[in-house]
């Protein structure tokens, strides 16, 4: 299909599909005060102490709030919530339990997310979240969680929201803390760019494959990067062919939609300082190619580009918050389809590095496109480290489910920093073994390697990718196949695309330190 026809088709989709997006609340930052009416959310520690907003409302109601809590069995335990309608002059009163332990930033984010999600279908024009604590940057973290929690993707819905129309969830969510209006500065400078980047990654991962393909992915990133200090480079088929990128070309050759290599560079650090490199798998739809996947749940393969969405969104976030670092994101974009032109099991592919591999399965395409992307960023940018992100294997889902992404690395220091960033951000990792003997299972009688075969699948995939990374260069591989999509909602994560990895990598950059020599 010609580029002109693809552009016309994209325009047709935009016009043919009505966009009836439900509203989201604007966030405001206001002085600590307890309103006497409206929709109000407060928090209380386990045991219901005789202080703070809970005690004030209880006194105002003549002890009715504590009695109501007793009747409902509410004691302020972590993740509990008392939802009262028409109580003590309030249209709605939400009382959130915070448990006994001191609250971390991620716990504060969860509280903001819980309030946002609880009021997402409400037509209340204003919601006040009153926070009595004095945690550092509490307001920004509450707002961050609220922004993540109220995310919706409704652009293809033609019907109004079942609960009150399209204005449900519209209006203002006022964050009332002791920081007051001054909290807006920290939010706008440090956290809003990250929240927006997570939403962008979720949008990309949710889009159907008939609306998002390699060229369109590039267009979306260009639009999102407008006005930011970013440099964008795009390699088309001709450029990749000149560079000998046989792997990414082999994956994309079965599709009418050609592959692309997208590079997004941000220079917020010192002139000439080596960047941090993030490389993402960007398969905009993965049918499996000639090694065709079964039909069951194949629709989810529209999200096989989440690694690419994560890395470009991370660098967009870094630019948005003016992080003092140099960083580069590389998205290896292709659509893996079966056709008379598609690559076959048994084919031998020569990559840009000169190294060859034999295709055992065309459904092991993610590791294929990453080989050329990794070679390119090492050659062009000479990074100080590389982290690749990919929805790579079903094996990691079997091992870790949706609770952790798999971390593979030859570098203990880098692995430790990523594990710490995962814990701090709430996007947790579990380190998996990466053994040299995995390579024995990938030996080919006619090429340097095979792209699969044997087990363990996740470890073998990581080993294969690592063969295109220079020894001595700190490198980590994140297999996010179990964490990119949520089957049920959590406070800051909707059902569906999670945008997993943006918060993790942003936290990693905030805390990054070079190992001492």
d(CA 490, CA 106): 13
Catalytic residue list contains 367: yes
> Which among 117, 192, 321, 367 is annotated as catalytic?
367
Find, among 390, 95, 47, the residue nearest to 251 by Cα. Answer: 390
**Residue 443 CA: distances (Å) to CA of 360, 361, 436, 450:** 11, 14, 12, 6
Question: What number of other Cβ atoms are within 10 A of residue 78's Cβ?
Answer: 15
Catalytic residue list contains 516: no
Give the pair of three-digit tokens for residue 158.
């033609």
Find, among 284, 287, 337, the residue nearest to 309 by Cα. Answer: 284
Which amino acids are annotated as binding site for Mn(2+), given as ranges? 281, 286, 304, 363, 365
The dihedrals phi and psi of 69, each to the nearest 5 degrees, come to -60, -40
d(CA 100, CA 145): 20
> Which among 60, 123, 155, 293 is annotated as catalytic?
293
Which amino acids are annotated as binding site, given as ranges? 281, 286, 304, 363, 365
Question: What number of other Cβ atoms are within 10 A of residue 120's Cβ?
Answer: 20
Euclidean distance between the first and the last CA atom of the chain, given in angstroms as a whole number? 54
d(CA 352, CA 371): 8
Tokens 């024009």 -> residue: 125
DSSP H or E segment with residue 461 = helix 457-466
Give the pair of three-digit tokens for residue 369.
């496109």
Instruction: Find out whether the peptide bond into 456 is cis, omega within 30 degrees of 0.
Output: yes
Secondary structure of 150-209 as H, E, C letters: CCCCCCCCCCCCCCCCCCCCCCEEEEEECCHHHHHHHHHHHHHHHHHHHHHHHHHHHCCC
Greatest CA separation found in the chain? Answer: 83
Question: What number of other Cβ atoms are within 10 A of residue 465's Cβ?
Answer: 25
Find, among 172, 170, 130, 131, the residue nearest to 36 by Cα. Answer: 130
Strands (E) in 356-404, as ranges, are 356-358, 385-390
Pairing of β 449-450 and β 90-97? unpaired
Contact 351, 341 (CB under 8 A): no
Rounded to the nearest 10 degrees, the angle between the axes of helix 192-206 and helix 138-149 is: 10
Give the pair of three-digit tokens for residue 373.
């992307």
Q: Environment class of residue 226 by beta-carbon count within 10 Å: exposed (0-12), middle (13-18) or buried (19+)?
A: exposed
DSSP H or E segment with residue 407 = strand 405-409
d(CA 476, CA 489): 29
d(CA 23, CA 8): 29
Residues catalogued as catalytic: 293, 367
């Amino acid at each position: 299909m010609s580029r002109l026809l693809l552009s016309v088709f994209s325009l047709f989709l935009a016009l043919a599909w009505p966009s009836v997006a439900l509203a989201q609340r604007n966030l405001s930052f206001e002085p600590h005060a307890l309103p006497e009416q409206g929709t109000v959310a407060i928090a209380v520690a386990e045991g219901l102490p005789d202080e703070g907003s809970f005690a004030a409302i209880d006194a105002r109601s003549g002890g009715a709030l504590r009695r109501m809590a007793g009747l409902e069995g509410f004691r302020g335990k972590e993740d509990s919530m008392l939802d009262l309608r028409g109580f003590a002059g309030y249209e709605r009163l939400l009382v959130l339990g915070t448990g006994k332990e001191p609250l971390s930033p991620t716990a504060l984010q969860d509280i903001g997310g819980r309030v946002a999600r609880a009021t997402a279908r409400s037509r209340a024009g204003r919601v006040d979240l009153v926070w009595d604590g004095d945690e550092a940057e509490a307001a920004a973290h509450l707002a961050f969680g609220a922004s993540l929690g109220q995310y919706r993707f409704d652009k293809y819905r033609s019907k109004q929201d079942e609960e009150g129309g399209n204005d449900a969830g519209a209006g203002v969510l006022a964050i009332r803390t002791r920081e007051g209006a001054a909290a807006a500065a920290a939010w706008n400078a440090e956290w809003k760019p990250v929240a927006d980047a997570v939403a962008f990654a979720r949008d990309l991962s949710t889009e159907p494959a008939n609306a998002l393909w390699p060229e369109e992915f590039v267009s979306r990133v260009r639009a999102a990067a407008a006005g930011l200090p970013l440099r964008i480079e795009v390699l088309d088929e001709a450029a990749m062919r000149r560079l000998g990128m046989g792997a990414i070309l082999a994956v994309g050759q079965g599709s009418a939609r050609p592959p692309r290599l997208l590079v997004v560079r941000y220079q917020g650090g010192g002139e000439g300082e080596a960047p941090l490199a993030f490389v993402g798998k960007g398969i905009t739809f993965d049918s499996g190619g000639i090694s065709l996947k079964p039909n069951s749940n194949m629709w989810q393969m529209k999200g096989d580009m989440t690694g690419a969405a994560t890395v470009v969104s991370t660098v967009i976030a870094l630019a948005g918050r003016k992080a003092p670092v140099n960083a580069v994101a590389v998205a290896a974009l292709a659509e893996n389809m079966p056709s008379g032109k598609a690559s076959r099991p048994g084919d031998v592919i020569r990559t840009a590095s000169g190294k060859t591999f034999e295709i055992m399965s065309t459904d092991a395409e993610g590791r294929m496109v990453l080989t050329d992307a990794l070679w390119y960023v090492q050659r062009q940018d000479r990074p100080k480290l590389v982290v690749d992100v990919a929805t790579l294997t079903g094996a990691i889902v079997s091992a870790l489910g949706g609770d952790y992404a798999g971390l593979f690395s030859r570098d203990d220091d880098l692995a430790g920093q990523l594990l710490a960033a995962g814990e701090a951000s709430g996007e947790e990792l579990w380190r998996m073994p990466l053994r040299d003997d995995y390579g024995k299972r990938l030996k080919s009688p006619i090429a340097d390697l095979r792209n699969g075969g044997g087990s363990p699948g996740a470890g073998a995939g990581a080993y294969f990718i690592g063969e295109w990374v220079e020894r001595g260069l700190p490198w980590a591989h994140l297999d996010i196949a179990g964490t990119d999509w949520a089957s049920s909602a959590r406070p800051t994560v909707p059902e569906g695309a999670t945008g997993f990895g943006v918060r993790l990598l942003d936290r990693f950059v905030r805390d990054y330190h070079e190992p001492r020599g």
